[in-house]
Chains A and B, each alone.
Chain A
């Protein structure tokens, strides 16, 4: 291809590239810059460059470490264990279920998914609160009630996120399971492999790529969950459900420390990339 043709071919793409640079790369670059300043929302005439001070501050800040820990707990519980396992289980079960059951289950699960985050948050708040549905059920079963949002806040919000996000995994896995040629499964059956063995030796290896993609998307989405937790607990009580996005919001907008908040956001991005790298590594091993 001549250089001239190459340019004329690229020309129609240029508006898109300019827009991407302007609205995606631009703000990101600006964020990275802000993370190295002491910019405040209020109380300061002019911001100045502070180097790595924000990052050093973060690592010394026990509240930051608490937020990192809670973010990991939240992600592992709600995304890795909750959404993924549940999504796969549902997809596998639905493959065998009758059509009405499949439609009904699918409908219910997907409704949870399409609900706006804030609405889902209020629903789960109503479910877990002291006078909520869960305690009403426990009363009916003569089991001890408790204020879930107060005693086990991180578990409650993790459950909420799993509840909301399972549909996505279910859809991904349903599609993946449909891709498995029935001859293979049948051949395994003829060879005498039971359900669990088929799952472990045939199904899982064959949908390996879908698992990787799904894990990655779920994890990244879960890492950035804000509205759900904000509505249910506001990161409280104390800081017992304050994940990194909430910590970032508190620093940036309530304590006015935009620079510090942005630095925390960059660190959150780092956590996300770490997860991604791990998944990509797992994906590479060939069977």
Chain B
């Protein structure tokens, strides 16, 4: 049969549709030798300008220090998971690679393995300030080859934020410190009963929340199961991911209880990709959330000049450690991550990029940054500075957690494992699957995404 023009047309059309969908690529701009391109993550909340303000100051200082050089920012305004994707795509080609990128330690190992990043050891060796960084932080940006690929600009810890206004109405103690998971759920049930119109307990969940769900949600639970010593997610001895642990199912059961008993936000709100912005920007300041399992950085949303000033937050919010499952030793759990500044392997001006890092990481600028973004210092000199420790309430609480915190096994398979965890959480959140069934699905997905590197517990 001769091909009809319509058939040829349709084939061409289909191909063109697929081709445009798949190969959309940005055009590279020619970069001048004196321009430094810096990519960073811009908040999706328009009123939060902490990073923008801080970097604008550094740019001014840098351009003054290096006459003739210019800094051009390439801000990426996107939720976390889309930010990573965008940066990785940019780093693939020398035409689009910025000179400096802001990398989450969550993905740094994966990007190192891909060859996206440049080892910084030659620069670090001659940089006196590097000695001020604590070892765990240095390790977070070290590849399996032993080289360091990023300069960390802080870490974070996690715990329970609670609203004293809500607690007062619910008749709960204002110096609340739950001893185990049941205490947390019990408090949420009391709030649900006595303070209608308030979300009793927020635990981030599901794929829309991305890594936020994995880290602030699931892992804050999971690392509080078991003996508190061995890693419940990854066995570093055998280099295998752990499947089928009781702790994993128990953690899912906790999430299930939160959403099944309607102790958490409405499921459709919880699965809104911008829910975190609502929590920080609206629910907490307006006293509409009882307990929030969240990170140390929340106050940056409320600092003066952030656009959502809430100077009163420290009087209205309380802080409690997240307890372990049954209150077993060490009694409290925290997870830590953080971000680093890294130089892409295909950057045009790596030397200039490192100079920019040095400008950001003078002691004074580092301190300014930690205070501005409510970060937990990974520099000894800043941590010892009383003006940092007293800069805002809560810093001491979260800095103390560093001693009992856990770091994620951020190996190349981790992002996929994380997605599998989010899917498991989401299916118990929506009620699509029971905790046991979701754990079963997770086990088989885990095998799939790690290439079979799985140990049964």
Chain A interfacial positions (CB closer than 8 Å to B) = 24, 27-28, 30-31, 40-45, 130, 147, 149-150, 212-213, 216-217, 220-221, 223-224, 226, 234, 236-238, 245, 253-256, 262, 265-266, 268-269, 272-273, 276, 280, 283
Contact = CB atoms under 8 A, between A and B. Distances in A.
B273 interface: yes
Contacts, number: 121
A265 B21 contact: yes
B21 A226 contact: yes
A244 to B, nearest CB: 11
A269 B15 contact: yes
Interface string B322-365: 00000000000000000000000000000000000000000000
Given A262-B22, A265-B22, A236 B271 contact: yes
A149 B206 CA distance: 16
Main secondary structure of the interface of A (DSSP, over half): helix
B251 interface: no
Nearest to A60: B448
Contacts of A234: 207-208, 273
Contacts of A236: 206-208, 271, 426
CB-CB nearest 7 A-B residue pairs: A43-B412, A27-B23, A43-B110, A150-B268, A276-B10, A272-B14, A42-B110
Nearest to A271: B14
A42 B22 contact: no
A220 B208 contact: no
Contacts of A220: 10, 13-14, 17
Nearest to A129: B268
A265 B18 contact: yes
22 contacts: A24-B16, A27-B19, A27-B22, A31-B19, A212-B6, A213-B6, A226-B21, A236-B206, A236-B271, A237-B271, A238-B426, A238-B427, A255-B416, A256-B88, A256-B416, A262-B22, A265-B22, A272-B17, A273-B10, A273-B11, A280-B6, A280-B10
Interface residues of B, number: 46
B106 to A, nearest CB: 11
B163 to A, nearest CB: 23
B111 interface: yes
Interface in B394-414: 412-413
A44 B22 contact: no
Given A234-B208, A238-B427, A276-B11, A42 B18 contact: no
B456 to A, nearest CB: 21
B144 to A, nearest CB: 11
A98 to B, nearest CB: 36
Contacts of B89: 41
A280 B4 contact: yes
Contact of B7 (A40, A217, A254, A280): A280
A24 B14 CA distance: 12
Interface in B350-404: none
A282 to B, nearest CB: 12
A42 B412 contact: yes
B27 interface: no
Interface in B224-283: 266-268, 271, 273
B316 interface: no
